[in-house]
């Protein structure tokens, strides 16, 4: 059975998250049920690079899907974009997966973006895509604080209680905070992240931006390895899964 790699864009708003759940529609279900139409009605299993939570968006999620049929990747892409309608899930690229490739375990780098709309007026155009914070944030201080978290650490202070990873050791390669007009944007990159890690980092950096905490505080929270000392978990809607990189990159079309 040939294995395909897919790059997915989706609006996380209407979904319970990437993963199939009893309580509502998931991106995985939409994708797999569309694929079943090309697989003689049999629903194939898919695996994603990141199991995004309810409300989290993706520009460049990557998933794998085995279909009992040889299809040119461009035809698979077109067919899935037809069958995933009208859901806000689109296959932007497809490829035959390289031998031994796995969408989740072969990923060597993941990039996310967290957007804060930092103005008095509530969002109209970007509703559901940003965290609305009215108090003026000091993005430079947030960036300064973020730089002290880079490198290999035990990120226990920033993981969700429900996080299933065996180890909380992660290497944070990039955590940049910048002001872009009315927005404060956080860009985070690492080989992999813990559950809620970026949203917990965003909620912690926020307190620095508000002036409630000094720029050295998030690092103290990190070193304390105690989740109860960190800031709030920032809301899902501000987060977007940007891209995944692989040592052996599929030949996307």
How far is Cα 208 from Cα 133, in angstroms, rounded to an integer? 13
Residue 63 lies near a copy of itself (rule: CB under 8 A): no
Residue 78 lies near a copy of itself (rule: CB under 8 A): yes
**Of 51, 77, 153, 227, which lies in the binding site for a copy of itself, with binding defined by CB under 8 A?**
77
Ordered DSSP codes for 148-215: TT-EEEE-GGGS-TT---S--EEEEEEEEEEEETTEEEEEEEES---TTHHHHHHHHHHHHHTTSS-T
Choices 64-72, 117-125, 155-163, 244-252; region in contact with a copy of itself by CB under 8 A: 117-125
CA nearest to 55, candidates 17, 26, 20: 17
Residue 133 lies near a copy of itself (rule: CB under 8 A): no
Nearer to a copy of itself, 73 or 203 (CB): 73
Residue 124 lies near a copy of itself (rule: CB under 8 A): yes
Question: Looking only at Cα atoms, what is the longest distance across the chain?
Answer: 59
**Of 16, 38, 65, 89, which lies in the binding site for a copy of itself, with binding defined by CB under 8 A?**
89
CA 187 to chain centre: 11
- In the complex, what is the shortest distance from the CB of residue 50 to a copy of itself, in angstroms, rounded to a whole number? 16
How far is Cα 165 from Cα 157, in angstroms, rounded to an integer? 14
Site string for a copy of itself, 10-49 (x = CB under 8 A): xx--------------------------------------
How far is Cα 246 from Cα 80, in angstroms, rounded to an integer? 23
Residue 88 lies near a copy of itself (rule: CB under 8 A): yes
List binders of a copy of itself among 167-206 (CB under 8 A): none
CA distances from 84 to 9, 10, 203 (A): 12, 11, 34
- In the complex, what is the shortest distance from the CB of residue 95 to a copy of itself, in angstroms, rounded to a whole number? 14
Nearer to a copy of itself, 79 or 201 (CB): 79
- In the complex, what is the shortest distance from the CB of residue 65 to a copy of itself, in angstroms, rounded to a whole number? 16
List binders of a copy of itself among 204-233 (CB under 8 A): none
In the residue annotation, 53 being an active-site residue is answered as: yes
Residue 157: which residues within 8 A CB-CB, separation 6 or more? 200, 221, 222, 224, 225, 226, 227, 229, 230
CA distances from 56 to 50, 51, 151 (A): 11, 10, 25
Report the binding-site residues for substrate. 112
Active-site residues, by number, are 53
Query: What does the binding site for a copy of itself look like in residue numbers (CB under 8 A)?
Result: 9-11, 57, 59, 74, 77-78, 81, 85, 88-93, 119-125, 127, 129, 240
């Amino acid at each position: 059975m040939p294995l395909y790699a897919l790059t997915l864009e989706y609006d996380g708003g209407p979904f319970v998250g990437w993963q199939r759940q009893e309580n509502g529609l998931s991106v995985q279900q939409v994708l797999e049920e569309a694929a079943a139409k090309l697989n003689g009605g049999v629903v194939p299993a898919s695996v994603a690079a990141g199991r995004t939570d309810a409300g989290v968006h993706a520009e460049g999620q990557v998933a794998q899907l085995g279909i009992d049929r040889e299809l040119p990747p461009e035809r698979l892409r077109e067919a899935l974009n037809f069958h995933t309608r009208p859901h806000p899930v689109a296959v932007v690229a497809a490829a035959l997966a390289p031998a031994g490739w796995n969408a989740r375990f072969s990923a060597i780098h993941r990039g996310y973006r967290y957007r804060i709309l930092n103005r008095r007026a509530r969002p109209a155009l970007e509703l559901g895509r940003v965290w609305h914070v009215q108090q003026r944030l000091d993005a430079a201080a947030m960036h300064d604080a973020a730089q002290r978290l880079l490198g290999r650490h035990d990120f226990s202070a920033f993981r969700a209680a429900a996080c299933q990873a065996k180890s909380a050791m992660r290497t944070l390669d990039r955590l940049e905070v910048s002001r872009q007009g009315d927005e404060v944007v956080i860009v985070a990159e690492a080989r992999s992240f813990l559950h809620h890690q970026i949203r917990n980092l965003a909620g912690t950096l926020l307190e620095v931006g508000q002036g409630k905490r000094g720029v050295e505080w998030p690092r103290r929270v990190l070193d304390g390895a105690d989740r109860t000392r960190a800031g709030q978990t920032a809301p899902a809607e501000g987060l977007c899964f940007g891209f995944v990189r692989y040592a052996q990159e599929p030949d996307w079309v």
